[in-house]
Amino acid sequence: MEIINQSTSGTLESSDIQIILGPNKQGIDIDIRSSVQKQFGEHIDMLIRKILSDKMIEHAKVLVVDNGALDCTIRARMETAIYRSIEGNQRVEWGVIK
């Protein structure tokens, strides 16, 4: 998949994560600001890289403001951002996304 336009998902509420995903010239750049940076910062970085690579995304800029979201929340917010970012390029069938 290719990230075409910038998209946002999530909120700044506690236990949520806000993701701003956009195109990047070369590679994956991730900037994380997390309330649990010291304990889970690296883990969140790795999780986001894994989600991107699972979707075959090679170039992306990700800005993350995390307020202690669990992994399931991070996955859901990332996927939403990804599909929003590729819209316009291809039509996303939101009803069939697993």
Partner 1 sequence: MMNKVKREIPEEVRGNNKLFAGVNTDCKVVQRAAPKVRPIKLGEEKLVASIEEVINKLNLCDNMTISFHHHFREGDYIINLVMDAIAKKGIKNLTIAPSSLTNVHAPLVHHIKTGVITNMTTSGLRGELGEAISNGVMKEPVRLRSHGGRARAIEAGDIKIDVAFLGVPSTDLYGNANGVKGKTICGSLGYAQMDAKYADQVVLLTDTILPYPNTPISIAQTDVDYIVKLDKIGDSEGIGIGATRFTTNPKELQIAELVKEVITKSVYFKNGFSFQTGTGGAALAVTRFLAEEMKNNSIKASFALGGITKPMLTLLEENLVDTILDVQDFDKEAAISLGQQERQIEISASYYADPHNKGAAVNQLDVVILSALEVDNQFNVNVMTGSDGVLRGAIGGHCDAANAKMTIISAPLVRGRIPTIVDRVNTVITPGESVDVIVTEIGIAINPKRRDLIASLSDQGIPIFTIDALQEKAYEITGTPKPIEYEDKVVALVEYRDGTLIDKVLQVKQ
How many whole angstroms separate alpha carbon 1 and alpha carbon 4?
9
Residues 53-82 that bind partner 1 (CB under 8 A): 67-71
**Amino acid letter at 36?**
V
Binds partner 1 (CB under 8 A): choice among 38, 56, 96, 97: 38
30 Cβ contact list (under 8 Å, min separation 6): 45, 48, 49, 62, 64
Q: Compute the least distance from the CB of residue 71 to partner 1, in Å.
A: 7
Q: Compute the least distance from the CB of residue 35 to partner 1, in Å.
A: 8
Task: With beta carbons less than 8 A apart as the criterion, state whether 8 and 18 touch.
Answer: yes
Q: Compute the least distance from the CB of residue 38 to partner 1, in Å.
A: 5
Task: With beta carbons less than 8 A apart as the criterion, state whether 74 and 21 touch.
Answer: no
Binds partner 1 (CB under 8 A): choice among 12, 29, 39, 87: 39
Chain residues that interact with partner 1, rule: CB under 8 A = 14-15, 35-40, 42-43, 67-71
